[in-house]
Amino acid sequence: MIAIGLPADLNPVDWFAGVVQAFTANVLPVALRAAGALLFQSPDLTRVPEIQGLTRTMLAIADSLLTLFLLYGGFRVITAGGEDDRYALKSILSRAIAAAVMANMSLVICSTLTDLDNGLVLGILGPNPGQSGWSGITTQIQTANLLGGIVDSLVALAAGILVLALAVIYVARDLLLVVLTVVAPLALMAHAVPELEDLTRTWWRAYLVTLFMQVLHAVLVLVGADLMVHPDWLGTSTSAVISGLVIIALFYVMIRMPFFLYRVGFGHPVSQNPVARRVVTVAKTAATAAKAVAAAI
């Protein structure tokens, strides 16, 4: 057998520090640039031609469904208009008009909210947020002082992994915004039918939480940058390890923020979401099947 391991004359601590240094030199700058590009500006998806085309298709479907909604509402006015205030003629017409206006202006609504989100971020961090608070934090992560020993190396590695996770979260956020923008006409048109109004509320909650999460992250970055400038806030002597731990705590809170906002917006944790439960069930089933196949082989 061939033994695979570290050379006998190589210190494991030095080897690990070298691995972290390579990670810091090659992977971490890319992750920091990606996170910085995603953190501070939300793309105006309504200006993307492909998204505009898909949204117009959804709008055409929604406008067609409005006719069915009106027929259904008229039927309910005749059969239950006096028993249910939601199906009074005045209520039906006001709902239909509001739904039609919102659905046909869905791109304008999404674009306006995106501009508001970007404006708030710029108001918090200044006209060039990537070079203000974020640069101070990223410089602290990449400083050579974080690679002086095993503890410093662990801190640098943990910070780098959290930055990568934060970048992944923002990619997923932008993908979710694409989906929410495309389905906006259908979701807003559902306001015309009382039984489907929850779909409209769910869309508003999901879109606002997903979009304005960026504003809270901007506040956290501003606070983190101030803490880097005034490192004596803990009442202890300044050290690279303490600064690194502050950065790790900052990134951890930023990663947990979307889950907290989801719970505030929907009243239950992500783990109780039906889609999330279905994904976990499928993953567990696949893992069990893989183990059975591996055991059989």
pLDDT in tens, 215-274: 998 888 888 777 766 666 665 555 566 677 777 888 888 888 888 888 887 777 777 767
Sort 229 into a burial class: Cβ within 10 Å, 0-12 / 13-18 / 19+.
Answer: exposed
For the chain, give the number of residues: 297
| DSSP H or E stretch at residue 114 | helix 106-125
Q: How confident is the model at residue 210 (pLDDT cuts 50, 70, 90)?
A: very high
CA pair distance 117, 215, nearest whole angstrom: 7
CA pair distance 4, 19, nearest whole angstrom: 17
Express as a percent the part of the chain with pLDDT over 90.
19
- Mean pLDDT for 115-133 is 81
* Predicted confidence (pLDDT) per residue in 14-41, tens digit: 666 677 667 666 677 777 777 777 788 8
pLDDT at 151: 65
pLDDT at 182: 93
* Predicted confidence (pLDDT) per residue in 273-282, tens digit: 676 666 567 6
Q: Which of 183-187, 192-196, 261-265 has the highest mean pLDDT?
A: 183-187
pLDDT at 12: 67
Beta strands in the chain (DSSP E): none
CA pair distance 148, 237, nearest whole angstrom: 17
Ramachandran region of residue 15, left (φ > 0), alpha (ψ -120 to 50) or beta?
A: alpha
